[in-house]
Amino acid sequence: MANCQLDFELLCEMMLDLGLLFDAFLS
């Protein structure tokens, strides 16, 4: 369960980073 939570947080962080990268790319 702890692993699942960790993976989810990591995924969330990756998605946020991707979003920021996408924003910078579009600007």
- Give per-residue pLDDT as tens, 1-27: 566 677 888 898 999 999 999 999 998
Instruction: Single out the residue of 3, 12, 2, 8 nearest to residue 20, CA to CA.
Output: 12
CA 2 to mean position of chain CA atoms: 18
Q: Where are the alpha helices (DSSP H) in 1-27?
A: 2-26
pTM of the model: 0.56
Determine the Cα–Cα distance for residues 13 and 1; give it in Å rounded to an integer.
19
